[in-house]
Amino acid sequence: MGGEDEPTRGNEWYVPKFGPRRFRLFIGMTFIPYTLMNVSYVVIGSMLWPGGVHWDRVVGIATVYLVAVGVSAHALDALAPNKPWGAFLTKRQLGALAASALAPALALGLYYALSYAPWLIAVGLAELFFLLSYNLELFRGLFHTEGWFAFSWGFLPVIAGFVLQTDSLSPQALAGAVFGFTTAYIEINASKPYRALKRQTRDTQSAESERRFERILKGVVASVLTLAVLLVLYRLQ
């Protein structure tokens, strides 16, 4: 099976140039750099707690988001119409992939919530709602917008990381969440025209616009990942 947009999507900057076609398309479907950006928000939120960092919880919540967003959310997203990444898998395969990733992510998240931070349950329920409503475009696509994307994909992960450390909120957690929202908002607003330009006839002007949006995407991803690494290194001192 193949999608008409598959050749252009397969040439996006984060898709590897090596390996079998199905491997390359799977990497493309999981949107690796953007998934790592999402995981970085969780790490950033965890590092904002001024007390001693519970590193096992950092690893745990990062794993939850890596699996739930990187695999489950993107598999559900590929089930929606006009999603070429899903063309190399059947709907049944995408559904099974989403469920097999979401189940352990939910179980691990619930374990950490019940063990250390009951308030994480509220954040988790909100994230589950957006994971389904955004990616499956439920409620006539009411929540499939740039604003809700930035809230669920950037704001809430920072809160989740902080809450798991403290079972509370603070001004620095909210400030970090605003950073997550803003950078996620920039990413989604640059990503959409970038994808559209990929599908257009390649003239000089559209190619330059495409490169400009690609630089924006790379820059925002690198900025978020760098901040997460810097905060981790600082807290390890």
Per-residue pLDDT tens digits for 61-96: 999 999 999 999 999 988 876 665 656 788 899 999
Identify the pLDDT of residue 126.
97
Is the predicted pLDDT of residue 202 greater than 70, yes or no?
Answer: no
Is the predicted pLDDT of residue 50 greater than 70, yes or no?
Answer: yes
Label residue 4 by pLDDT band (50, 70, 90): very low
Q: Which domain holds residue 161?
A: 6-236
Identify the pLDDT of residue 20.
87
Looking at the domain assignment, is residue 77 inside a domain? yes
For 145-191, the pLDDT digits (tens) are 999 999 999 999 999 999 999 999 999 999 999 999 999 999 999 99
Q: With b meaning 16 or more CB within 10 Å and e meaning fewer, what string describes 189-210?
A: ebbeebbebbeeeeeeeeeebb
Is the predicted pLDDT of residue 2 greater than 50, yes or no?
Answer: no
For residue 212, how far is the Cα from the chain centroid?
Answer: 22
Looking at the domain assignment, is residue 1 inside a domain? no
As a whole number, mean pLDDT of residues 118-126 equals 97
Based on the structure, what is the number of domains in the chain?
1
Burial, 56: exposed, middle or buried (Cβ in 10 Å; 0-12, 13-18, 19+)? exposed
Looking at the domain assignment, is residue 211 inside a domain? yes
Q: Residue 151's domain is classified under what CATH number?
A: 1.10.600
Identify the pLDDT of residue 84.
57
Is the predicted pLDDT of residue 194 greater than 60, yes or no?
Answer: yes
Half-sphere exposure of 13 (CA within 13 A, CB side): 16
Identify the pLDDT of residue 236.
94
The alpha-helical segments, DSSP class H, found in 68-170 are 74-79, 91-115, 120-135, 138-141, 146-150, 156-166
Distance in angstroms between the alpha carbons of the first and the last residue of the chain: 51
Looking at the domain assignment, is residue 215 inside a domain? yes
Looking at the domain assignment, is residue 133 inside a domain? yes
DSSP 16-85: -SSS-HHHHHHHHHTTHHHHHHHHHHHHHHHHT-SS---HHHHHHHHHHHHHIIIIIIHHHHHHSTT-GG
Label residue 17 by pLDDT band (50, 70, 90): confident
Is the predicted pLDDT of residue 5 greater than 60, yes or no?
Answer: no
Is the predicted pLDDT of residue 203 greater than 80, yes or no?
Answer: no
- Record the tokens describing residue 194, joined without a space: 């970038």
Identify the pLDDT of residue 118.
97
